[in-house]
Structure 1
Amino acid sequence: MSYQTTPAQASVLTLEGCAVFDALPTAVLIFASDLILYANTVALQIFQADSKDQVLGESVHKFIYPLDQERVIARIRRAEKSNLINPPTEFRVYTCLHQVRVIALTSRTLMIDSHIGLVATFLDMTERCAMEKRLRDSDAQFQHLMNTMQDVFYRTDADGITRYVSASVRNVLGYSPDEIIGLPAAVFYPDQDNRKELVEVIKKQGYVRDFPGQMRCQDGRIIDISISSTILLDEMGQYAGVEGIWRDITERRTLERKLEQLASRDELTGIANRRFSLEEMGKRLSRYKRHQRDMSVCILDLDHFKRINDQHGHLVGDQVLLEFSVVVQSELRSTDHFGRLGGEEFLLICEDSSIENTSSLARRILQKVCDHPVAISSQTSIQVTVSIGATAVESSDSSISSILSRADNALYQAKSEGRNRICWFTEMLLRNEI
């Protein structure tokens, strides 16, 4: 075996003195002229050697993975020419069972029995490298998912500051992630109380599913969103933030609103239809039971409407119904409910309104309808009048049917008294007001 002459400054070691390395918990190799001269117990275990003879005297080239050969041998040559410690490097090696492992190795020059050599220590990094690869693959998959998903993934801290948001946010709100990260999530809500409510629910039950909300886009548009998120806790179990996804459901909500409108609105006049009006009356009756505030119900019926249809046709009749509904709505408060029961019959609910106030409203409606003839051509218009039957809601009322029956009786009385008037139903009598 031939050895090169070592630099004068190299450390000196004899092979007989290497036995001390067997007690170390890290792997140690000693080699010179690319031949392995010593391997301690841990090194033999990493190389899966049954005996020292499988390793000692073998060339290091035999164990270095082919694609890493040039890089590793170049480091060995540099080390042989100096007394510097080679910094740690990772490379692949073959074991005696021809399995591939990754080791992290560092080495330095020393004198071995008066000849130059290298002592190297290394760790088995195979499992760590495999774990890092899994993490890189997982991170790559996560980033691919974040970059391609339509929904927006986000994470906020305990103070509501956005710490992460996926790239998909640009397609939804128009902002880049960098323009959002670091800002309070609440600033993108047109109603910041909506964000507070979201956080309160998450803190209470730990998650939300399809929580409704709205956000403001960069161009000022308000969009509807659906939020599904879970709570984040720190190591002490304290609230640390929220993470989850939200999606743009504006098109869905617009369609739902249209369907709701079709289900609740009269197709001709655009006001509430019969079903919705009766549901609303039920809700307001329940409120009346709780608060006992004055409430009146009126049924309005256009006078001689059949004659209008017969003489002028149904298109003119539709025009009369439409213009009548517009005239009535111009006199109502925002709290009043006005709907079409069917045909020429309409329902008016006046909440928090005394008999006197409702009577005053009814008289204004009567007068305004009279003052608004419906023009059916440039030369012809139709004079329209309406009869109104009214009743006050009583504490003994248990259903809307009894209230409507009283209002209908009052309407019949108004018709029999000559039309174009309001009649009130009371428990003892019908009182006319022209």
Structure 2
Amino acid sequence: MPAVAGRAVLRCLAVYEVLPMTHALPFEATVTETEPPVLPNADWIEHLPACVALLVGNTVRYANAAALRLLGAQQPGDVVGKSVQDFIHPLDLHRSLARLRHAEGGGVNPVTEIRVYTCGGEPLIVAMSSATLQLGDQTAVLASFLDMTERAAMEQQLRQTDEDFQRMMNTMQDVFYRTDAQGITRYVCPAVKNVLGYSAEEIIGLPAAAFYPDLSERDALVAEIKKHGSVHDFPGRMRRKDGVIIDISISTRALRDEQGQYAGVEGIWRDISERKALERRLEHLATFDSLTGIHNRRSVLAILEQLLQRGAPFSVLLLDLDHFKQVNDGYGHAAGDEVLSGFARIISREKRSRDFFGRLGGEEFLLILDGADEAEALQIAERLRLAVSAQALDLPGDASLALTVSIGLTQRRPDDRRTADVLVRADQALYRAKAAGRNRVCG
């Protein structure tokens, strides 16, 4: 308010002090000849959106229209002439009266929030400031205030929401995180301590990439998010504080700024190391023979089928341990298992690295010689046969057993379409090796 206008208003209110107590201000401002005629009357106070009240002692002597509306007054007399104690919450009364006394002493009270009641008893929260106003020989207080009830309710909701968020973050087992556009971690929930061994404070401010053992995995994640906007159960790995690498699953989305530009990511990742370990165990059980550790029947036949479909050249060896039933009958099944395992170790050691070795069942094995023609396959088969017969296997009870193996050989033919086409020929060749006296190779 301009200084000249302010003095005019104060004179208007000073005149009002000696008038009968009413709501309106029906007076003209007294303006000296040296002052320009600014604000010819005080009616403009009634049009202020802010609430204004004049207090003498503890009594309300004037309240403008905004104040009356806020306090729910049906008529000015519902407020004017009443004590401030009729409107102020008991818990805020002592503080409010102290501020009035301070203002009466010439001080200016900064804005503060107090709880008040309307004429109908409804609670409100107002932001009030006040200052001294001299009315003749009396000191009054001019107060202005705004309704802050909705803002206070909103702040309470925000506080409750924040408390709920923090409580959720503190109890989560998965890790919620947020990074900026440069990949710097801006938030991570406390659960990260249980997963990575770092506290949230140790991680915030560091690049998220710092915890990836392979940066290309992080780059692939960011590229996928930028491309699609989000990812779900994206696989990855992270390095714990103790150096252990863990498997994680990430579900996250891109953040955008006001211009729609990429501003970072937020989402959840979880430790799935146990799940991955179980999947690997199940995959191993589904692929490898539990006794010998080589490919099982389903797996080695699937490899044979793939080579057939590709049209790749290969040969196969069908191997069968000689007189294996006598081992089981004479030494027991535990000894038989040891013989099968020992035989598998010999072949695995002697075969070429690119070949595929599997157990079809019992004492029968299949070796797929990738890219080998019949002559090379025969040479390999003879070497394997000699390696088996040259090594005696130790059995329980300080016993040992010399083994021999019969081998049936065949090469892939152009008209082979099914695995059975190859296996039938190999089985026929194996039968000939057995019929010829065992411990030999037949094609």
User: 1:313-392 alignment to 2 at 5 Å?
Assistant: 313-353=332-372, 355=374, 358-376=377-395, 380-392=399-411
Cα deviation digits, residues 5-48 of structure 1 (max 9, x gap): xxxxx965523454321122211111111211221121111111
Shift of 1:416: 3.7
Decide which of 111, 114, 119 is 1:96's aligned counterpart: 119
SS in 1 for 2:410: strand
Residue 57 of structure 1: SS of its match in structure 2? coil
- Alignment of 1:30 with 2:54, yes or no, is yes
The code of the aligned residue for 1:324 comes to: F
What CA deviation, in whole Å up to 9, does each residue of 1:282-322 have, x standing for no partner? Answer: 34444x34xx4x43333222122223333333222211101
Match of 2:423 among 393, 404, 414: 404
Letter in 2 for 1:389: G
Q: Secondary structure of the equivalent of 2:350?
A: coil
TM-score scaled by length of structure 2: 0.85
- Please identify, of 36-45 and 321-330, the stretch whose mean Cα deviation from structure 2 is larger: 36-45
Separation of aligned partners in 1, 2:166 and 2:156: 15
Q: Distance in 2 between matches of 1:26 and 1:396?
A: 97
Structure 2 residue ranges without an equivalent (≥5)? 1-8, 17-24, 26-40
CA separation of 1:387 and 1:234: change in aligned 2, threshold 3 A: farther
Q: Hey, what does 2:86 align to over in structure 1?
A: 62
- Tell me which amino acid in the other structure corresponds to 1:199: V
Q: What is the distance in 2 between the residues matched to 1:392 and 1:149?
A: 60
TM-aligned CA distance change 1:280 to 1:118, over 3 Å = farther
CA distance in 2, matches of 1:134, 1:310: 80
Q: Classify the secondary structure of the residue corresponding to 1:270.
A: coil
SS of alignment partner, residue 325 of structure 1: helix
Between 1:340-349 and 1:156-165, the stretch displaced more is 156-165
Distance 1:77 1:71, change over 3 A: same
Q: State, as a whole percentage, how many aligned pairs show the same letter.
A: 51
Aligned position for 2:135: 112
Distance 1:161 1:357 in 2: 59
RMSD across aligned positions (CA):
2.4
1:125 matched to 2:148? The reply is yes
Q: Which moved more, 1:241-250 or 1:386-395?
A: 386-395
SS of residue paired to 1:324: helix
Residue matched to 1:431: none
The Cα offsets for residues 329-354 of structure 1, whole Å up to 9 and x where unpaired, read as 11345543222110011122333555
The one-character-per-residue Cα deviations of 1:245-282 (angstroms, maximum 9, x if unpaired) are: 12222223333333333333322212222122223333
Task: Tell whether the 8 Å contact from 1:12 to 1:110 is kept in structure 2 after alignment.
Answer: no
Matches within 5 A, 1:17-416: 18-82=42-106, 84-286=107-309, 288-289=310-311, 292=312, 294-353=313-372, 355=374, 358-376=377-395, 380-394=399-413, 396-416=415-435
Q: CA deviation at 1:231?
A: 2.3
Distance across 2 between alignment mates of 1:323 and 1:385: 12
Q: 1:392 to 1:168 in 2, by over 3 A?
A: same
TM-score by length of 1: 0.86
Which residue pairs with 2:37 in the alignment? none
What CA distance in whole angstroms lies between the structure 2 residues aligned with 1:369 and 1:184? 57
Distance 1:165 1:270, change over 3 A: same
Quote the Cα distance in structure 2 between the aligned partners of 1:179 and 1:168.
13
The 2-side partners of 1:179 and 1:359 are apart by 64
In 1, the alpha carbon distance for the partners of 2:133 and 2:436 equals 125
Residue 178 of structure 2 aligns to which amino acid in structure 1?
A: R
Structure 1, gaps ≥5 residues long = 1-9, 425-434
